[in-house]
Each structure stands twice: as C-alpha cells, then as structure tokens.
Amino acid sequence: MDEFDVLAVGGTVIDGTGREPRRADVGVRGDRIAFVGPAPPGAAARRRLDCAGLAVAPGFIDLHSHADFTVAAAPGAEGALRQGVTTLVTGNCGTSPFPTGSDAAGFEGFARSVQEAGPAVNVAALVGHAMLRAAVLGQDLRPATGPELDAMRGLLADAAREGVFGLSTGLIYAPGSFAGTEEIVALAETAREHGLLYATHMRDEGDDLLKAVDEALETARRSGVRLQISHLKAMGPANHGKVVRALALIDAARAEGVDVATDVYPYAASSTQLSSRLPDWALDGGLDALLERLARPETRERIAAELRAKTGGTFLPEGTVLAAMPDGPYTPYVGASLREIADERGADPADVALDVLAGHRALVFIVNHAMAEDDVDTVLRHPAAAVASDGWELDTACGGHPHPRHFGAFARALGHHARDRGLLTLPQAVHKMTGLPASRLGLTGRGTLAEGHAADLAVFEPGEITDRATYAEPLAYAEGVRHVVVNGRLALADGAVTGERPGRVLRRGAR
C-alpha cells in the first residue's frame, strides 16, 4: 500500500505554469512531491486533506520582500502563511543585513541566525549593493576608486559562492544613490559571471522614470545580467500613465534579447523611509550626518526648500502618512498625514517632515499615496510582471500603522484583482506568484507542482480568499487560505497555524 506524509485529494490543481486548472490529487513524501494526478487506490497518509472545492497551488514566492530584518524576530510568519506564501525573497532595494566587513556577519552569519530562529517559511536572499558600498566606502557621497570597486566585486563574489540568488540596488536611497552607472554595470558583470539575478529599485520613479528604466536596461545590455525591475510604478500625479511607456521600453528590450522582467504590489500607495524624500547631499555621511545638518538652521532651511519644491509632484504631504518610528514627540501622530499634522500645528508640511525626522533619529517609515490605480492595473496585467509584497512585517503584533500590503498583497491579487474584477484569470494570477518568480530567481524545483519538486503547497478557497488589511485598519490577516505545506510539513492546517517551523534558508544551486 502506498503511504504518504500528506495527501491532498479532490482539489483543483493550479500548477503554477499558467495552464488551465485540472482536477488532481497531490501526494507528498518527505519534503518532495511524490505525484500529481489520481491518488493510487488505497493510498494512506499521515495527514489527508479534503480539498474538494479548493484550489491547490504551489506555495507562493514573494519575489520582493524585506523580511530579512524581521523574520528572526517573527519566525512564525503568520502574515505570510495566511496568504499562502512559503518563500520570502529578501535583500531587495540595495539593503541586506550583510556584508558588514566581518566574515561572521556575512551571508553565512545571516543564514545561521535565521535558521536558528526556526522560520515557518523559506528565505532566499539577495545581497544589497548599499551594503557592499557601505562596507568598502562607508556613507560617503563620492565615486568608488578602482581598488574600492574591486573590493565590492570581491564581496559580491563571496556572497555568490555562499549561495545568494542575486544582487539588488536601491538607486533612490543613500548610499546606493551615490553610485554612478559605471559602478552598477561593473557589479552587474560580476553578478552575471556568477549566474545571479540583478534586481533594481531604479534611480527615479517620478519625473525621470523613463530615464531610470533606460539606465536599468543599459546596465543589462552592457553586463549581460538578468534584470528584474522592482515594483514598477509612477509616482506623483504628473507622472501617472508613464508606466505604459516604461513597459514599452521593457518589451522592446525583451524583443532584442535582454532578459528583463518586473514585479508589482497590487496597491496604489508605496511605503518607504521619509528620509528618501531628501536630496543626496543631505544624506552624505549617513543619518547621523543628516541629523547634524538638521540642527543647523541655515542647512535645515536649504533642505526644506528643496523638499518644498517637490510639493504637488513627488512630495505629496496629504498622501504621506506616518507608519512607524521610534518613540518621540510625533509618536501620537502615527497614522496621520504630514498635511494633517501641518494643519493642526499651523506649520509648513516640509518643516513638519524635517521636525519628524529630527525628533525620531531620522528612522521614520511612511505610507505614500502617490500612485494611480490604473497604473497598478496596467503593470499587473503585463505577462512579465510578478506579484510581490515589498513588505517586511510578518505578524500583526508589529503595531504601528504599516502598509496593508504586508498582510494582504497575495490575497488581494487573487481576490480583488483576479476574481472580483477579472483583471487576470486565476491561473495567470497564480503563475505571477509561483512559476514566474521562481524562474526569475533561478529557484529550481519550486514554483510549480510536479513530481520531485519541493513540497510547498498553498490550498485556498477561490471564492473566499480576500485581503482584510486596509489603509485605515492595516493590522489584519488575509482570509481564505486553508492549508499551507512548507517542505512537506503543514504550517497552516484548516485555517490555523500549526506551530510547525519547517522553513529553510535556501541557497542557489542547492536542491
């Protein structure tokens, strides 16, 4: 008699390839899928899942997350599991917890700390360009010298040999924004030599969006690297609609043989650091140097003047909502916009922004309402666009007023966008969160349901899956995911977390 560890029977399999759904059973032995098809007669299982009326899909892969900074503290990752997410891709936007200049704090140290925490989901890491730069140059606003660039390339090669999946840049954030194109091309060449993906938060997502797309594509052309343009969007009312031209540039590059794709979170607001609204020169030397500048009236006014000049464009005080920050004078305003705070205090919004930064050690996160829903739809429909969260919170105990994408991105794409609005078919939506991100990352043996692949499964109710987190009430888990299997073990069963922690730190090239 055949015996399985998990047997999911009677469900509708959506296999992650984009193909039409089919009725099939899925058997799991150990950490692998044993079969997809009719269950053998008389098959027994340690855990049998009745999946009648349910969709059985590969576990979802969040291609763009920042959970490397939270997973050790929230290893149960309930917010991910309740969306069907089984793998978090970390190290995006140029930022990762490594390297820091010491071997113990490199990728190996990071992997060890995550594995010791016992994660419920898998983690696949990228290495951040900002960390490579900071390890070699510090926070200085200047070009890298030849030896410094060689040192960065060496650190990148070390991380590649240790098993990271890619290199990321955050060219809108200091100190990544201090680098010129030549530096990025050189690092992308090293990434290509080691088979890594290059993911970029581009240099501009507003007035110069198309120039930023051109820079990213030119980097890929010159280096030969596989390119992932992170969370494609257009910020500010004057730029709404530009994603159409951005996608046309991407399509033209794909037609000429450039290996490029993109991803998107299904919301018309972003979330980032308030300091990212400031000019590069204000951030030269890091956040401590910024705080010193803010303490000098003349320098502070110069910063405020440059911020004011962006008002109505890429700086929208009415859409800039305080999300999280250390305790300080503006803590009671978490959840309020800069405009609301300014109106209450009879102050200028740019001055309020700088007051908030000065009062909270410049460690201020915002939710930024500056995008158009039509643009989100346009990118989401594109066949080369994966679904991602750009999130980092994994548990609603995080508090604050975070972006709802942390707890709702995948459920929202399946429910609101696919089922309710018909923007995508269900197989298309599932492909964008399984097979497509796995192929971009080079993550073999995951992302599709097939014999011998890793046993990561998301079983959900197609008619019920929905995001409950909203901008007003963001601390709410998604609903409609019934079972989640990670590496062959049930991490979510009958809609409840099991306490199992079967996640792993994945390494490029490892089975």
> What's the CATH number where 226 sits?
3.20.20.140
Mean pLDDT of 264-273: 97
Q: Is residue 10 part of a domain?
A: no
Tokens of 504: 């792993």
Q: Is residue 11 part of a domain?
A: no
- β 496-497/260-264 pair status: unpaired
Mean pLDDT of 119-138: 97
- Whole-number Cα distances in Å, 410 to 345, 368, 465, 491: 39, 20, 10, 18
Domain count, the chain: 2
Distance CA 317, CA 422 (A): 33
- Tokens 């299904």 belong to 266
Whether the per-residue pLDDT at 48 is higher than 60: the answer is yes
Whether the per-residue pLDDT at 153 is higher than 60: the answer is yes
**Last residue within a domain, chosen from 406, 436, 466:** 436
Q: What is the pLDDT of residue 360?
A: 98
Q: What is the pLDDT of residue 104?
A: 41
First to last CA, the chain: 28
Q: Is residue 2 part of a domain?
A: no
Instruction: Name the E strands within 91-232.
Output: 122-128, 166-170, 197-201, 226-229
DSSP codes joined into one string, 145-172 = PHHHHHHHHHHHHHHHHHT--EEEEETT
Rounded to the nearest integer, the mean pLDDT of the chain is: 96
Q: What is the pLDDT of residues 465-501, one digit of tens each?
A: 999 999 999 999 999 999 999 999 999 999 999 999 9
Clarify whether residues 131 and 253 are in a common domain. yes
Contact 10, 483 (CB under 8 A): no
Clarify whether residues 242 and 141 are in a common domain. yes
Q: What is the pLDDT of residues 394-432, one digit of tens each?
A: 999 999 999 999 999 999 999 999 999 999 999 999 999
Clarify whether residues 241 and 350 are in a common domain. no
Length of the chain: 511
Tokens of 489: 């073990």
Clarify whether residues 228 and 353 are in a common domain. no
Distance CA 163, CA 160 (A): 5
Lowest-confidence region among 24-33, 58-67, 190-199, 307-316: 307-316
Contact 377, 424 (CB under 8 A): no
Secondary structure class of 277 (helix, strand, coil): helix
Mean pLDDT of 45-60: 97
- Whole-number Cα distances in Å, 310 to 39, 95, 306, 377: 61, 26, 7, 26
- Phi, psi of 22, rounded to the nearest 5 degrees: -150, 155
Secondary structure class of 209 (helix, strand, coil): helix
Q: What is the pLDDT of residue 1?
A: 52
Tokens of 100: 């820091």
Peptide bond into 329 cis (omega under 30): no
Clarify whether residues 181 and 262 are in a common domain. yes
Clarify whether residues 300 and 151 are in a common domain. no
Clarify whether residues 213 and 167 are in a common domain. yes
Tokens of 319: 């859409």
Q: What is the pLDDT of residue 103?
A: 47
Mean pLDDT of 425-449: 97
pLDDT confidence bin for 510, thresholds 50/70/90: confident
- Tokens 């980097």 belong to 219
Q: Is residue 472 part of a domain?
A: no
Clarify whether residues 200 and 330 are in a common domain. no
Contact 488, 502 (CB under 8 A): yes
**Last residue within a domain, chosen from 419, 436, 453:** 436
All residues at 6 or more sequence positions from 466 whose CB lies less than 8 Å from its CB, including other chains? 411, 412, 415, 416, 478, 479, 480
Clarify whether residues 192 and 202 are in a common domain. yes
Q: What is the pLDDT of residue 394?
A: 98
Residues β-bridged to residue 201: 170
Tell me the CB-side half-sphere exposure of residue 445, using CA atoms within 13 A. Answer: 15
Clarify whether residues 225 and 318 are in a common domain. no
Distance CA 117, CA 257 (A): 42
Q: Is residue 112 part of a domain?
A: yes
All residues at 6 or more sequence positions from 336 whose CB lies less than 8 Å from its CB, including other chains? 321, 322
Q: What is the pLDDT of residues 313-365, one digit of tens each?
A: 889 999 999 999 999 999 999 999 999 999 999 999 999 999 999 999 999 99
Contact 136, 165 (CB under 8 A): no
**Last residue within a domain, chosen from 436, 451, 480:** 436
Which residues constitute the domain of residue 343?
272-368
Clarify whether residues 264 and 387 are in a common domain. yes
Nearest to 114 by CA among 67, 72, 62: 72
Note the pTM of the prediction, 2 decimals: 0.97
Secondary structure class of 314 (helix, strand, coil): coil
Clarify whether residues 101 and 224 are in a common domain. yes
